Amino acid sequence: MYLAISAAAAMCVALAVVQTRNAKRLGADLRVKTVEAESFQLTARTMEERLHTEEAARMQLADRITKVETALRESEDTGCRLRQELQTERRKYKELQAELDSTKDAHDAAISAMWSARNEVDNLGQENCKLTEALNTERETAKHWKEEFHKEQAYRLSTEGRIMREVNNLLRYDGTAHGQEELSDE
């Protein structure tokens, strides 16, 4: 029975070590995912600032196109040159619009990745809480079995003491009650 209790205690200690290792691993994973989430947030902010800059550039280009069209109406001599500049500006506008669209797509993808990383961080936090609860339960169980082990050990030692006193009494027995130790129930 002592061996079974020792084995159970050893299993509880081993399980507690495994749970602690898992909790540390999940904590490290949680820190990595938190860093990734912060990185995604920074990328999203950068993309958002770039989006605003591109939008301002697009607005400036739209203003320039308007001015070019007004100048075209005012002077027929400069009309051809202004048409060429207008076409160039429109191409730039389309290129910037395409770049703005790709920037918006990248921004949306970064936000989506940030949210999925945040959800994963939340899930890891929940797993960490569950593992912490399991670890605390295992610690309580280990403490209980340790107390049981100490009780069993104390009982075994008191039983061995009684047996040794009885053997001692048998060895010193001279036919009288003199010299015999009294056994006390402990």
pLDDT by position in tens, the chain (length 186): 777 788 778 888 888 888 888 888 888 898 998 998 999 999 999 999 999 999 999 999 989 888 877 876 777 767 677 788 888 999 989 999 999 999 999 999 989 988 999 999 899 999 999 999 999 999 999 999 999 998 888 888 888 888 888 887 777 766 666 555 555 544
> Which one-letter amino acid corresponds to residue 7?
A
CATH architecture assigned to 2-148: Orthogonal Bundle (1.10)
State the pLDDT at residue 86. 85
Domain boundaries, given as residue ranges, for the chain = 2-148
Phi, psi (deg, nearest 5) at residue 180: -95, 140
Q: Read off the tokens for 179.
A: 């010299």
Total Cβ atoms within 10 A of residue 41: 15
State the pLDDT at residue 132. 93
Query: What's the pTM?
Result: 0.33
Give start and end residues of each alpha helix (H) in the chain. Answer: 2-74, 79-171
State the residue for tokens 């280990």: 142
Cα–Cα distance, 74 to 81 (Å, whole number): 13
Number of Cα atoms under 13 Å in the Cβ half of residue 96: 19
